[in-house]
Structure 1
Amino acid sequence: MKRRLINYKSNEQPSDIGKSALECRVEFIKDAFGNTEDLLMLPILYHEEKGILFYFETISDSEKIQESILVPLSKNPELDFGDIPYTAETKSKIKLEDTINALLQGNTILIVQEEDDLFSFNTKKDLSRSPQDYSELDYVYRNPKGALGAKVAIIEGKAMDAIRLKQEETDLNGRYYDEFLKSGVATGFYTDYNVQSVCPLLLKHTKDPLLPLIKIHSKGHRAESVGMALFNNDKMTGKLTIPESKVFILLSGGIKQKVSFLVRTKHRYQQNQLNYVIVEILNSRPKTKLNVKNGAVTAKLALKLQYRIREYPKNHLSSSLLLKQLNNEINAGLTNTAKKTISKLQEANCDGLGIEEEIKVHHHRLWEGKYKNVAIKEIPIKVDLQLELLNSGIIN
């Protein structure tokens, strides 16, 4: 087939010597979006010339593309472009530099090898039908100049209260929230998601994300940590408390630093502080194991923890008998929190631990036949915590 070199106008990008028009344009669009996974390329045949359809899977309507572009083109490859019966609105021909904004708006771009111009179709999804509107977040994600490293959080209450917060710690609210969320990640309160890492989860519905959940005290001029918001696909379906959030991050292997817990013992003293012990997790080793029996999967979450006792008001930690008893009580307390965490995840149908992904990888046929898009509450999940006390004070 004859290949023609493209002659760009002054406001278009220069072509590479020796490359066809189609190759240059495809390379330009791919370079603009980097390694974005849901930018799809579909090869087509148009007037016996190669063509490419570009669109974003998450913001373009696949039904419109199929019914309005692919089917007519496949049935009538000999027709002139204007004679094809479209139901999607066809925009005027566009230039190469306009394709980036067109794709970000949900349009589908058609590039044909022997055509100087490109064609754009309005195939944007009807967001009014979606329970959650992430169009603004999606725009930041796809914009080459977008702040992909920006933190993402959920506000309990009105988002406008967060925007109008009159805090006194920094000059800009944006900087205040950035430092606030970084501090939460450092202390094990939150997962460390940003725009770049969370958008594929929200928009492509793979592993469910858990995002920082905060509320605003307008009178105190401060933000306060609530825990983490649970998601099922793109819907918020529940929340975890701060202790439960810490346990979740330990189970998921997301904590790389030390994290502390306040654990209640079996003592019942009048002075309430005497009934608690503060422990610091020094090392954690989580492991997920899938047991399959009679075509049914059971997930076992094993978590080995090495810890030290930071504070115990009763003291007397030199007694080995007391330390053994205390270790059992700490184990029971953390195990109870872990079970509550798993129960809330299942109740919210939030697969934040990626159980379905584990089944897909290790038992693919079973996943295809029974566990594809299954509700996480349908999978029994057991938790096994093993604790090792390394020391019991600031000296030993």
Structure 2
Amino acid sequence: MRRTLIFLLALCLLPAARAGIVDAPAANLEISLMTYGPGDIYWERFGHDALEVRDTVSGESIAFNYGVFDFDQKGFLLNFARGIMAYRMDAETTQSDIDFYAGEGRYVRRQHLALNDEQKERLRRFLLWNIRPENAGYRYDYYVDNCTTRVRDALDDALGGILSAHWVAKPGGMTFREQTVRLMSNQPWLMLGMDLGLGPYADQPMTAWKETFLPMTLESELRQVSVDGKPLVAKETLLVPARLTPPPEAAPDLRWPLLLAGLVLAVPLALPAISRRGFARGVFVAAGTLFTVFAGIAGLLMLGLWTLTLHRSAWGNFNLLAYSPFALLIVPGIWRLRHAGRPVSKLASRVTALSFAACVIALLLHLWPDFPQRNLPWLLLALPCWAALTWTFCRRHD
């Protein structure tokens, strides 16, 4: 907030003889979309962008962006966990932004937009209104209200709805889930955790309008827009090349890796049904504890995201059928079998059988063409494990 106030004060104190982006004639302004490529840290993987307003006479150039948040704000971590993310608009000199992202190894590209004077004036007035402290804050949402959707909406308003008219009816290329997994693939464990926690919202059919929640997609889609028969992007310049490895073009297919992991984990879970040796029981206890604790904790987290937070992309997660908090009730029953001759816990046996049945139901639901969630990889991980545990408990009853 302090930087915004200083910026506004500096604008107000500009000498009258020297025009700048605030008072220059619209004919002297250039409007550009600045796109900054993905970074290495997880919150940088989705990239960033800004709207640049440049006065061609004075040379003043300011980049307006919507991606500022403060780790030190009161209750930040708790609010972040609850899905209450307070972001705000900010403005910096374009060169300071370029230097910052160049130092991080991220590409910087400028797309000069062919706006007429009326459109430039409308956009300038909006940005200067929006940067005021009382207007700068907003409630951030990863997919529908973020630093890029705000830039997109500002441009669309200045253009009289041309962008939405082009993109609302145009099919998107990927879902929210696919884009998330693709961009987070450089950090496999975080990628897997996010994919497990995303619910049906992340698999909804996409339009190009929705998919421009990503800076790189907005950048790409703008190249295809024409206004009055002329390209909207009049000139494009790569100011800083990327030094970081770019994200893959497509999301990785998680089905086979997770199926293989499920089959490997199912082997020790089935050992007590095959062998009575102490080694088999020890391996079973370790593998069974690992799987059921993971399933139970994952279920608790998914249930918490659904019922206690505003992260709507995690609501109604069908993975709860395969990874339930009730799995934690099985752990004592697994440990009972570490010694020979111990009877099988009836509670553990019943919860295991119900969990296996729920996983089978989830798989059958997934075969329905209109099923809203694409969670097959996680069912392929869980199903062999629940099948092996159920078989072990049934055989030990015998």
Q: TM-score range by the shorter chain?
A: under 0.3
TM score, norm. by length of structure 1: 0.22
Q: Which has the higher contact order (CA 8 A, sep 6+)?
A: 2
Between structures 1 and 2, the one with greater helix share: 2
TM score, norm. by length of structure 2: 0.22
